[in-house]
Amino acid sequence: MSLLVVGSVAFDHVRTPHGEAAEILGGAATYFSVAASWFTPVRIVAVVGEDFGDQHLQVFRDRGIDTAGLERTDGRTFRWRAEYTDDMNEARTLETQLNVFETFAPKIPAAYLESECVFLANIDPVLQLRVRQQLPKAQLVGLDSMNYWITGKLDELKKTLATVHVLVINEGEAQMLSGRSNLKQAAAVIRELGPEILVIKRGRYGASLFTRDSIFFAPAYPLETVRDPTGAGDTFAGGFMGHLAKTSDFSDGNLRRAVICGSVMASFAVEEFGLERLLRLSAPEITARFREFKNLTHFDV
Amino acid sequence: MSLLVVGSVAFDHVRTPHGEAAEILGGAATYFSVAASWFTPVRIVAVVGEDFGDQHLQVFRDRGIDTAGLERTDGRTFRWRAEYTDDMNEARTLETQLNVFETFAPKIPAAYLESECVFLANIDPVLQLRVRQQLPKAQLVGLDSMNYWITGKLDELKKTLATVHVLVINEGEAQMLSGRSNLKQAAAVIRELGPEILVIKRGRYGASLFTRDSIFFAPAYPLETVRDPTGAGDTFAGGFMGHLAKTSDFSDGNLRRAVICGSVMASFAVEEFGLERLLRLSAPEITARFREFKNLTHFDV
Stated as kind and residue range, the H or E segment containing B152 is: helix B147-152
Record: contact B182-A214, CB cut-off 8 A: no
* pLDDT score for A129: 98
Of A181, A214, A300, the CB nearest to B253: A300
* pLDDT score for A50: 97
B299 lies in a domain?
no
B301 lies in a domain?
no
Record: contact B222-A184, CB cut-off 8 A: yes
Q: Judge whether A265 and A289 are in contact, CB under 8 Å.
A: no
Q: What is the pLDDT of residues A244-256, one digit of tens each?
A: 999 999 999 999 9
* pLDDT score for B290: 98
ipTM of this predicted complex? 0.94
* pLDDT score for B89: 75
Task: Answer whether residue A184 shows pLDDT above 90.
Answer: yes
Mutation target among A183, A260, A297, A300 for the B interface, most CBs of B within 10 A: A297
Q: Within an 8 Å CB–CB cutoff, is residue B287 touching chain A?
A: no
The CB density around residue B285, as the number of other CB atoms within 10 Å, is 14
Backbone angles phi, psi at B52, to 5 degrees: -90, 105
* pLDDT score for A146: 95
Record: contact B296-A182, CB cut-off 8 A: no
Average pLDDT over residues A15-20: 94
Q: Judge whether B23 and B13 are in contact, CB under 8 Å.
A: yes
Range of the domain at B275: 3-293
Q: Within an 8 Å CB–CB cutoff, is residue B22 touching chain A?
A: no
Range name among A42-51, A127-136, A203-212, B81-90 with the lowest pLDDT average: B81-90
B47 lies in a domain?
yes
Q: What is the pLDDT of residues A156-182, one digit of tens each?
A: 999 999 999 999 999 999 999 999 999
Record: contact B87-A181, CB cut-off 8 A: yes
Q: Which residues of chain B have pLDDT under 70?
A: 87
* pLDDT score for A91: 87
* pLDDT score for A88: 75
Prediction pTM value: 0.96
Number of structural domains in chain A: 1
Record: contact B223-A296, CB cut-off 8 A: no
User: Minimal CA–CA distance to B278: which of B83, B53, B99, B33?
Assistant: B33
The CB density around residue A203, as the number of other CB atoms within 10 Å, is 18
Q: Within an 8 Å CB–CB cutoff, is residue B215 touching chain A?
A: yes
Q: Within an 8 Å CB–CB cutoff, is residue A203 touching chain B?
A: no
Backbone angles phi, psi at B175, to 5 degrees: -65, -40
Record: contact A222-B184, CB cut-off 8 A: yes
Q: Judge whether A138 and A114 are in contact, CB under 8 Å.
A: no
Q: What is the pLDDT of residues A112-162, one digit of tens each?
A: 999 999 999 999 999 999 999 999 999 999 999 999 999 999 999 999 999
* pLDDT score for A86: 73
The domain that holds B18 is classified in CATH as 3.40.1190.20
User: Cα(B2)–Cα(B176) distance, rounded to whole angstroms?
Assistant: 32
